[in-house]
Amino acid sequence: MSFFSKILEKLGIGTADAAPAPADNASAAAQATASSAALPMVDVVAQLEKSAAANSQKLNWRTSIVDLLKLLNMDSSFAARKELATELGCPANLMDDSAQMNIWLHKTVLARIAANGGNVPPELLD
């Protein structure tokens, strides 16, 4: 099972194969809109906010890929994030800068969650 499939599973969203991998975040957002009628929506926001409220750490999944992974009880190490970035097709020039990779990864993961039936707020898909 791919790393991203595990994220979807933790959120209670079908499989990563439910929607093809979009080439970029704009495509993912468009795909999320186009496919939303076909997929049952999963209240990702409510799940993550509930987990954040119950967590002793102050985690902000809306801005941090590390915090998002922690709330899903997944490995958030640099090696794990690099594996996920590689899986999702992060451009090579961003892989050399961990901050840029994390920003790309956070936006891409949220866009892909939305494309697979998660209710990610539009402002997080920009």
pLDDT tens for each residue of 3-38: 999 999 999 997 444 444 445 555 555 544 444 445
pLDDT band at 42, cuts 50/70/90? confident
**Does 12 fall in a domain?**
no
- Reported as a single tens digit per residue, the pLDDT across 77-115 is 999 999 999 999 999 999 999 999 999 999 999 999 999
pLDDT at 17: 43
Does the residue 4 lie in any domain? no
Quote the CA–CA distance of 20 and 33 in Å, as a whole number: 14
Domain that holds residue 118: 23-124
Tokens of 100: 């840029």
Burial 46-57 (b: 16+ CB within 10 A, else e): ebbeebbeeeee
Domain count, the chain: 1
